[in-house]
Amino acid sequence: MSDLPRRAVTRSAKLASLPLGFAGRTALGVGKRTLGKPAEAVAIEIQARTAEQLFKVLGELKGGAMKLGQMLSIFEAALPPEIAGPYRATLTKLQEAAPPLPASAVHKVLAEALGDDWRDRFESFDDRPAAAASIGQVHKGVWADGRPVAVKVQYPGAGKALISDFNQLARLGKLFGVLMPGLDVKSMLAELKERVVEELDYTIEADSQTRIRAAYLDDPDFYVPEVVAQDGNVLVTEWIDGTPLSKIISEGDQETRDHAALLYCRFLLSGPKRSGLLHGDPHPGNFRLLADGRLGVLDFGAVDRIPADFLHRMGRLLRIGTMSDITEVEDALRDEDFIREGVTIDAESLQAFLAPITEPFVNETFAFTREWLRDMAARVTDLRPTNVVRQLNLPPEYVIVHRVLSAGTGVLCQLECEIPARAESLRWIPASPTRRTASWSAAEPRRHRTSVRRGAEAGEAAERGPRTDEVRGPRFRSAR
């Protein structure tokens, strides 16, 4: 992983192969249509082959590009299983095979962040990583006060590699548009870039974790570990033990599954109302069921800042399944730009598409199952031009919300649980009875957050790499 910057040419070459392949397939499609092959069949073939090459290239790349591939997994929902399956398998293989950062390199990062006397901050430090990801790894240690801690160390050069890869892919918007023509791809990629940059900044993560911990302090259902220290590319937090949600998925009894699922759902839905933040990475590995029955929550690198007015708009969308008039449903989707201006939608097709998807928020309790998830996936991944889902847009301000709801629903289905999801949504996400006024879009861009850093500024900072003297505020800095 330490050779990420030196492999920039190789990564760029792989990414550059994507538009060339797309151009060739498009030209071939024109020829097939000329020879009489149905336009729909040609379109599906081009989409399938484009998706296959796109995710194959992303899957082969490590470091920053692999992280980007994970962030762009929202496109995976538009792919047939024979393409999405191998892509997921490739990512899993790369993550498992990722070589750990050598101890000497880890020590160098720690010295740059915490000072040459960094060992004085610890009673002990394990050089063997306890966990590894695409842009960093976690070590277990014991802080000077005797607390077990998790030490998150970012790979040197990961930021530059990630931004470089993203800049390459941002030029390929037309390629993604082939998969979902209703998408405003350019705006969505811009939003994703800003979020990826924020994930690289451990100062932002420390601030977010501290804010969420304060909101849930002494809560009977949840535990958020304390931030112990943060500087540069190092983040030190409390270490928490517990049963990973992934183990409950594979081995838990029904009572444990339902209990964990209810807390999991409650945490994701309650975050915006309680802390103003939405946890943006609901992967099972980020949740632990503690011995006292509480749910421990980890990894706050990806969060969404949700103001009250946007929370009410989200609430209206979550309730579209209870709207009897399909015109009201279409109006709600158009108000939020899920149906872009000028796009015509067949009302009956829209109603048929949404009815089963909104079931969890209509019934008093809902049984989340793999079978139901497969049925929903089949609806979303139908690439035929007549499928209404291909005309829908994903507004930039909903990128992380969509990621959380879709991934969170997938985890609930893996848990094979039955929970009162409707009651939780009504409790934590209130709906506004009024439609959004035109003054919203006229007064400001279609965004709902105030970032800690804005895109251009953040991009420049990530490309040059964090510096110790740039860490904002002394709250988490270790005394030297």
Name the band, by pLDDT with cuts 50, 70 and 90, for residue 435.
very low
What's the whole-number mean pLDDT along residues 103-109?
A: 95
Distance CA 78, CA 144 (A): 49
Distance CA 271, CA 288 (A): 17
Does residue 128 or residue 361 have the better pLDDT?
128
Name the band, by pLDDT with cuts 50, 70 and 90, for residue 459.
very low
The set of residues, in sequence order, having a beta carbon less than 8 Å from that of 221 and lying 6+ positions away, is 263, 266, 267, 294, 295
pLDDT for 72 equals 47
For residue 20, is pLDDT > 50?
no
For the ranges 40-44, 176-180, 197-201, 343-347, the lowest mean pLDDT is seen at: 40-44
Tell me if 207 sits within 8 A of 452, measured CB to CB. yes
Tell me if 94 sits within 8 A of 62, measured CB to CB. yes
For residue 71, is pLDDT > 70?
no
pLDDT in tens, 166-208: 676 666 555 555 555 555 666 666 766 777 788 889 999 999 9
Cα→Cα distances 186→171, 191, 302, Å: 9, 9, 21
pLDDT for 287 equals 95
Locate 20 and state its tokens. 């060339």
Tell me if 226 sits within 8 A of 213, measured CB to CB. yes
- Give the predicted TM-score (pTM) of the model: 0.74
pLDDT for 399 equals 78
What's the whole-number mean pLDDT along residues 277-302?
A: 93
Looking at mean pLDDT, say which of 9-13, 29-33, 68-72, 132-136 comes out highest.
Answer: 132-136
For residue 436, is pLDDT > 70?
no
pLDDT for 261 equals 98
Name the band, by pLDDT with cuts 50, 70 and 90, for residue 283.
confident
Name the band, by pLDDT with cuts 50, 70 and 90, for residue 281.
confident
Does residue 421 or residue 390 have the better pLDDT?
421
- The CA R_g of the chain, rounded to the nearest whole Å, is 23
For the ranges 51-60, 68-77, 85-94, 102-111, the lowest mean pLDDT is seen at: 68-77
Looking at mean pLDDT, say which of 44-58, 84-98, 244-258 comes out highest.
Answer: 244-258
For residue 27, is pLDDT > 50?
no
For the ranges 168-172, 247-251, 290-294, 401-405, the lowest mean pLDDT is seen at: 168-172
Average predicted confidence (pLDDT) for the chain: 74
**What sign results for the dihedral spanned by CA atoms 42, 349, 339, 421?**
negative
For the ranges 211-220, 228-237, 445-454, the lowest mean pLDDT is seen at: 445-454
pLDDT in tens, 392-433: 887 878 878 887 888 888 889 989 999 999 999 999 998 765
Does residue 387 or residue 102 have the better pLDDT?
102
Tell me if 129 sits within 8 A of 105, measured CB to CB. no
Long-range contacts, 265-268 (Cβ 8 Å, 24+): 265/408, 265/412, 265/419, 265/421, 265/424, 266/221, 266/424, 266/428, 267/221, 267/222, 267/295, 267/297, 268/404, 268/408
pLDDT for 480 equals 40
What's the whole-number mean pLDDT along residues 319-344?
A: 85
What's the whole-number mean pLDDT along residues 240-244?
A: 95
Q: Report which DSSP code applies to 319.
A: T
Long-range contacts, 86-90 (Cβ 8 Å, 24+): 86/55, 86/56, 86/59, 87/55, 87/56, 87/58, 87/59, 90/55, 90/56, 90/59, 90/60
Determine the residue type at 35: L
Does residue 327 or residue 123 have the better pLDDT?
123
For residue 444, is pLDDT > 50?
no
Does residue 471 or residue 339 have the better pLDDT?
339
Percent of the chain at pLDDT above 90?
33
Distance CA 154, CA 206 (A): 14
